[in-house]
Amino acid sequence: MKTLLITGGAGFIGSHVIRLFVKKYPDYQILNLDTLTYAGNLENLEDVESAPNYKFIKGDITDEKFIDSFFQKWSIDGVIHLAAESHVDRSITDPMAFIRTNILGTVNLLNACKSQWLSFDDKLFYHISTDEVYGSLGDTGLFIEETAYDPKSPYSASKASSDHLVRAYYNTYKLPIVISNCSNNYGPNQFPEKLIPLSINNIKQGKEIPIYGKGENIRDWLYVEDHAHAIDEIYHKGANGQTYNIGGNNEWKNIDLIMLLCEIMDRKLGKEPGTSAKLITFVKDRAGHDLRYAIDSGKISKELNWNPSVTFETGLEKTVDWYLENNLWLEHVTSGEYSSYYDKQYNR
Ligand code: NAD
Ligand code: TYD
């Protein structure tokens, strides 16, 4: 039986990866290591928590001693590393948390693999990263795997740093690694601080939808289950030392996306067309706001035969339905001390 460590499994993307792997690979022992920050919630995994091949362990990847003893206790064959601080706005107000978890935490895991794996045969450290490491695009062009790193926010700089360190361990110590850099994910279980779930939650409550600047920034959106399937393909078939870009081929200007979301919300809530759009409020722009991200996922498509399968319209409908049906989840995750960047800026 193989033992697979998934870090950050109680978070948004991690919980979808855990669900997929627990169900698809009954012969793997799957360990979910997560410290349960504001973004981690075990309610995301209620449907798999009693599966015989799944175990949750609460722990902090920044704690070097803990990570060493964890690797001594469990005989780990592979790591899929998702644990991170993940929100750009929070990285602007508290960069140090990003340096600790995203950089130091990743190095603790790399060191534990390097020292505990006596042989590297059949071992793999898979690092989950973001397209934001490539910086910001103008009106044209796409990020490819060879695009030079040019991170602009404390979040993307911390992720770029961890990507470099993962590659350095491959180059220096021959640690078997793969990295994937993915575009913006959306779907159920995303903490309502990022654009789509924050907007859904605000519309539900009749609160303003804050749009930074003029709403002209562009993101490429991928349904979270498509990302989980890409991770499955890369973990099992990706070539040692390689990087794969993952994208949805689905670019949207923020304002156009929010208008579409408002239409869906009006329909689902039985409101007059145009009701939700009245909540749109243009607010002060994010500092250093990247204009555009867009991914060329030709490599993973050609080499691993992965392509996104969920259209944006279908994915958004499914996402809205999930947030409308899961009031208790929303209440629980928003009851903590966290308030959004916008709320903080305006002392609300
Ligand atoms: P998330 O914020 O929803 O979840 C992060 C998880 O990591 C949480 O469960 C949290 O408790 C855990 N965690 C944080 N610090 C920890 C620590 N010190 N020790 C142990 N666990 C810790 O994040 P997400 O959106 O699911 O992103 C997961 C990964 O995917 C991140 O590495 C992120 O950079 C990357 N990524 C995210 C997106 C996106 O659109 N969300 C896109 C591309 C890549
Ligand atoms: P976000 O979901 O935070 O992801 P990222 O910054 O990692 O791309 O933001 C997506 C886009 O939406 C980004 O251009 C910033 C913008 N945005 C708003 O306009 N208002 C908001 O309240 C938030 C959270 C984001």
Residue-level length of the chain: 348
Residue 9 alpha carbon to ligand 1 centre in Å = 8
Q: Which atom of ligand 2 is nearest to the CA of 86?
A: 7
3-state DSSP assignment of residue 128: strand
Measure the CA–CA gap between 111 and 120, rounded to whole angstroms: 13
- Name the pLDDT band for 1 (thresholds 50, 70, 90): confident
- For residue 139, indicate whether it is catalytic: no
Q: Which residues line ligand 2 (CB under 6 A)?
A: 88, 184, 194-195, 198, 210-212, 217, 219, 254, 286, 342
Q: Where are the domains of the chain?
A: 2-185+221-246
Reported as type and span, the H/E element at residue 234 is helix 224-237
- pLDDT at position 208 is 98
Supply 12's token pair: 């948004």
Average pLDDT in the chain: 96
Residue 59 has pLDDT above 70, yes or no: yes
Residue 58 alpha carbon to ligand 1 centre in Å = 15
2-185+221-246 under CATH 3.40.1360.10, yes or no: no
The tens digit of pLDDT for each residue in 244-287 reads: 999 999 999 999 999 999 999 999 999 999 999 999 999 999 99
Q: Which atom of ligand 2 is nearest to the CA of 193?
A: 24
- Find residue 246's DSSP bridge partners: 182
At position 330, the amino acid (one-letter code) is L
- pLDDT at position 341 is 44
Contact between 2 and 28 (Cβ < 8 Å): yes
Residue 339 has pLDDT above 50, yes or no: no
Measure the CA–CA gap between 270 and 268, rounded to whole angstroms: 6
Q: What percent of the chain is modeled with pLDDT above 70?
A: 96
Supply 68's token pair: 């060493």
Residue 297 alpha carbon to ligand 2 centre in Å = 22
- For residue 43, indicate whether it is catalytic: no
- pLDDT at position 340 is 44
For 134-163, what is the mean pLDDT? Answer: 98
For 177-204, what is the mean pLDDT? Answer: 98
pTM of the model: 0.97
For 335-340, what is the mean pLDDT? Answer: 58
Is the C-alpha dihedral spanning 294, 313, 180, 87 positive or negative? Answer: positive
Is the C-alpha dihedral spanning 70, 165, 98, 11 positive or negative? Answer: negative
- Name the pLDDT band for 42 (thresholds 50, 70, 90): very high
